[in-house]
Amino acid sequence: MAKIMVVDDTAFMRIMMRTMLEECGYEVVGEAKNGKEAVDEYAKLKPDLVTMDITMPEMNGVEALRLIRQMDPTAKVIICSAMGQRDMVLDAISSGARDFVVKPFQKDRIQEAVAKVLS
């Protein structure tokens, strides 16, 4: 079973993502509420996959993605963004994100993205 870390500054969004992932049969091994926490938790947990919000306090998702990929070039990260963040999404993809999903989340889209990235 794949181990996934959920990163989002909003508790409600972390809960939603965790619930959807668990309903799809994945194990959520950790959460973080900003990019700095995400980098620290990634180093400790070594998850198979990270879902990462872009806009967060202290360190945004793109900066955290870059640091995680420096630490582990094989890291698998799916970026989650709201509409209207096209440039940031493109920046995330060029920084190594494997896919992106648009908020609000749709369970079938989450399942599709995770399955694709983990395959």
pLDDT higher than threshold 80 for residue 7: yes
**Residues contacting residue 102 through CB under 8 Å, at least 6 positions apart:** 80, 81, 82, 83, 109
What confidence score (pLDDT) does residue 83 get?
A: 66
- Report the alpha-carbon distance of residue 50 to residue 30 in Å, rounded: 9
Number of domains in the chain: 1
Per residue in 12-66, pLDDT (tens digit) is: 999 999 999 999 999 999 999 999 999 999 999 999 999 999 999 999 999 999 9
Classify residue 40 by burial, with Cβ atoms within 10 Å: 0-12, 13-18, 19+. middle
Predicted TM-score of the model (pTM)? 0.94
Instruction: Give residue 1's pLDDT band: very low, low, confident or very high (50, 70, 90).
Output: confident
Tell me which residue range forms the domain holding 35.
3-118
Whether 84 has a pLDDT exceeding 80, the answer reads no
What is the rounded CA–CA span in Å between residue 10 and residue 12?
5
